[in-house]
Amino acid sequence: MSTGPAIAVAVTFVWLGMVLAISFLEAPLKFRAPNVTLQIGLGIGRLVFRALNTVEVGFALVILAIVAAGPTPPRIAVAFCVGFAALAIQLIAVRPRLTRRSDKVLAGLDAPRSRGHYAYVGLEVVKVVGLVMAGILLLAA
């Protein structure tokens, strides 16, 4: 395996690990910790997900550069596109709505429960599937 694909494999699985650890472990567990109020949990979540999304965009750009620079089988490109699309939808359509709601809660207002979290989690699952498939296909190439 040459350097570009090896880097793509490493970045893919690090990205996958971060999404699994933060979205499916840290995010739900923080609200079970003693004395963590909704406001504190939302404040922590905003910081953590802003950092995660920033790193994800960086990883996506690295992978995109590698895929664009070399011959990449279409099935690998499609798998990455699934992950990239899920991330883009999260950042453009879902996160802004979640941020508006959390702004209200953090300001002490009584905001209605949000269904946006379900959309975000659904997109996380789609992203995980895309990254798993891309990583497996890269390793098999």
Domain spans in the chain, listed from the N-terminal domain onward: 3-140
- For residues 25-44, give the mean pLDDT: 90
**Between residues 19 and 105, the one the model is more confident about:** 19
pLDDT tier at 16, thresholds 50, 70, 90: very high
- Rounded to whole angstroms, how far apart are CA atoms 84 and 105? 30
pLDDT (tens digit per residue) in 36-81: 988 899 899 999 999 999 999 999 999 999 999 989 999 999 999 9
Q: Return the pLDDT at 115.
A: 87
pLDDT of residue 125: 98
pTM above threshold 0.85: yes
pLDDT tens for each residue of 86-130: 999 999 999 999 999 888 888 888 877 788 899 999 999 999 999
Whether pLDDT at 2 is above 80: yes
As given in the structure block, the two tokens for residue 140 are: 């098999």
pLDDT of the residue at 113: 78
Residue range 21-27: average pLDDT? 95
DSSP notation for 34-87: TT--HHHHHHHHHHHHHHHHHHHHHHHHHHHHHHHHS---HHHHHHHHHHHHHH
Q: What is the pLDDT of residue 25?
A: 95
